[in-house]
Amino acid sequence: MKVKTPIPTLKQKLKRFFMVDLIHGLTLTLKYNLGALFEKDAVAGKAIYTEQYPKVRPDVAPRFHGAPRLNMDPETHDTLCIACNLCAIACPEDCIDVLAMDVEIIVAGKPRRKKVLDEFIFDTSRCMFCALCQEACPTSCLELTQDFELATYSRAGFVWNREMLEQGREKVKYTS
Amino acid sequence: MLLLGPINLINDLLLKFFSADTVNYVLWPLIQIGIVVTLVALWVAYATYLERKISAFMQARLGPMRVGPWGLLQPIADGIKLLVKEDFIPDKADRWIFFFAPYIAVASAFIVFSVVPFGPDWAVIADVNIGLLLVLAVSSVGVLALILAGWSSNSKYALLGGLRSSAQMVSYEVAMGLSLIGALMFARTLSLSGIVAAQGADSIWYIVYQPVGFLLFLISGIAENNRAPFDLPEAESELVAGFHTEYSGMRWSLFFMAEYAAMVVVSAVGATVYLGGWYFPFVYRLETAGHHNLYVIVSLLVFLIKASIILYIYFWLRWTLPRFRYDQLMDVGWKWLIPSALINITLSAFSIFIVQALDGWKSIHTIERLDNGLNLTASGKGIMIVSGLIGLILTGLLLSRINWRSRDFNLRTQRRNIRLVNLPKGKPAVPAPSSGG
């Protein structure tokens, strides 16, 4: 039985003889090599895409939601939280606990009782970073920051208390 | 030359204690050997670094960056890691052969450097008149190490890898030797320093006369070193790691070093024979100006740059081309490289004959001198360059005509053999029993 094999055209023959595809491949790799040495912009050209991660932290997307933070008044360093519990109500995962206490203050010469924040528990292991709490907060105290390094060594480490939320966690700085 | 004063000082100091012959033929060569071994080991180590960097750049990565600035200490860290690793010997291995195979590999790669001219005058250890022959002979001993390693490991993958690499290296050795003959016809000597001197006297690089020879040397050199795209012995997708499957720790790193040293050897020899070695136009003016040691050092740098260019081609090809199939590899070796090497010899001999016949005919002057290689005049050079280019095209045409669809032919017979069963298409070989009966 005769088997038909396709006969190459003259163009294909010439391409094969002058090894056009081989040269094309070689120029491509050479271009990338030179691009890595001389070009600056990886996205536009053929330069390096690698991020030096722990040394250089990448810029995340502007709408990214990461680690929570309780903002403070920049002048008095008092918390902005008024213990209204709106964030805990808004949270679909029930991961926020706001514990308030009453304190006595003098307003216009009369003793008054005021509700202030005692402790703020935020369980990041259950959080899905929807930022509904951030939307609900009337004083823009609770905020989800762009920090994305949330891993810890134990499950208990995922539960952040007020101090952690206000100060932020300690970041490891890497040099060289 | 204040910087190079110490060399003369050491020479004077040695002459106080030993006779002139001892100093010239024993002590200085020993010092040279020490320097060359150190530098080549360093070169080999940084060849691995460069390979990792270049491969990374070709894939838009960064490569090693952590150890030292830009990862420059990475090869040293790797070396220390390999040194302290466990040196494991398989239970059923042939212990002594298993011990010694890596040393043979390294020695055969390093001995070649004894005749490579790194530069003029004191930058060459030994200028033997059979230099190129010695290079080919010693570097082919490396095959022995691979066979021994593959055999003594007592492992099927190692044995298969050793067999493959020995078959490959033996068949490409032929093409490598034959491809060098064309250049030797111009140099009229086997001494590597002599070849460089001949190119200097002719003020041309033999790559211009011998494009076919250079290409053949490069391809067969890559294949001989078992590098991609000819890295079948180490094909990790088929054989675990080839002949060094069972090796670990320092012995494995010796094989690794031998591979890179062999690469450096081939690039050094290629640079010497085809790219003019340490010869570079106008550098000799330093010599005539009286800066002898500076001249040697500049020539040395020129040689290193030329060899590094060939080394770069190695990396470039490795990270561009996919691996050959085994039959394709043998195809390239026996059907393309060896015939084209033979054609190259014939053509260059013919063109040299024409140049010699034309010399002195009707006041045409082609040959200048013959005592230091074949030195041609401008017209002779023109003839040679044109004949070299014609040879490149002619060799390609001739071989593609001869090998025209040779692989397709094989496939066709194979297909016919399969079809000889003569079954109608689309039906099972055994007819299924009818459901009703």
State pLDDT tens for residues A39-82. 777 666 678 888 888 777 788 888 899 889 888 888 888 888 88
Q: What is the mean pLDDT of residues B220-230?
A: 84
Residues of B in contact with A26 (CB under 8 A): 316-317, 320
The answer to whether the Cβ–Cβ distance between A33 and B396 falls below 8 Å is no
What tens digit of pLDDT does each residue of B392-418 get?
888 888 888 887 666 555 565 665 555
At residue B437, the pLDDT reads 46
ipTM above 0.85, yes or no: no
Nearest to A1 among B320, B411, B419 (CB): B419
Residue type, position A31, single letter? K
Nearest to A3 among B62, B65, B412 (CB): B412
The answer to whether the Cβ–Cβ distance between A5 and B408 falls below 8 Å is yes
DSSP string, B277-320: TT--TTTHHHHHTT-HHHHHHHHHHHHHHHHHHHHHHHHHHHTT
Per-residue buried b or exposed e for B38-55, using 16+ beta carbons within 10 Å of the residue's own CB: eebbebbbbbbbbbbbbb
At residue B291, the pLDDT reads 76
Rounded-to-integer distance, Cα A150 and Cα A130, Å: 16
Dihedral angle at the C-alpha atoms of A62, A64, A65, A71, nearest 10 degrees?
A: -10
Testing the interface with A: which of B52, B57, B412 to mutate, by most A Cβ within 10 A?
A: B57
**Sequence ranges of the domains in chain B:** 19-84, 87-334
At residue A24, the pLDDT reads 92
pTM of the model: 0.80
Per-residue buried b or exposed e for A5-28, using 16+ beta carbons within 10 Å of the residue's own CB: eeeeeeeeeeeeeeeeeeeeebee
DSSP string, A113-144: EEEEEEEEEEETTT-----HHHHH-TTS-EEE
B309 pLDDT band (50/70/90 cuts)?
A: very high
Average model confidence (pLDDT) across chain B: 82
B113 pLDDT band (50/70/90 cuts)?
A: confident
**Does the pLDDT at position B236 exceed 70?**
no
Q: What is the mean pLDDT of residues B305-321?
A: 90
What tens digit of pLDDT does each residue of B5-40 get?
677 777 778 888 888 788 778 888 888 888 888 888
B188 pLDDT band (50/70/90 cuts)?
A: confident
At residue B70, the pLDDT reads 83
Residue type, position A171, single letter? K
Tokens of A15: 């391409």
Tokens of B379: 């017209």
Residues of A in contact with B56 (CB under 8 A): 36, 48, 50
What tens digit of pLDDT does each residue of B143-170 get?
888 888 888 888 888 888 888 888 888 8
The answer to whether the Cβ–Cβ distance between A48 and B57 falls below 8 Å is yes
Check residues B226 and A63 and name the one with the higher pLDDT: A63
Residues of B in contact with A5 (CB under 8 A): 408, 411-412
Alpha helices in chain A (DSSP H): 10-17, 20-38, 86-90, 132-136, 162-167
Q: What domains can be seen in chain A, in order of their start residue?
A: 8-50 (no CATH), 68-167 (3.30.70.3270)
Distance of CA B242 to the CA centre of its chain: 20
Size of interface A-B (CB pairs under 8 A): 57
What tens digit of pLDDT does each residue of B361-370 get?
777 777 777 7
* Residue A1, min C-alpha distance to chain B (Å): 7
**Does the pLDDT at position A117 exceed 70?**
yes
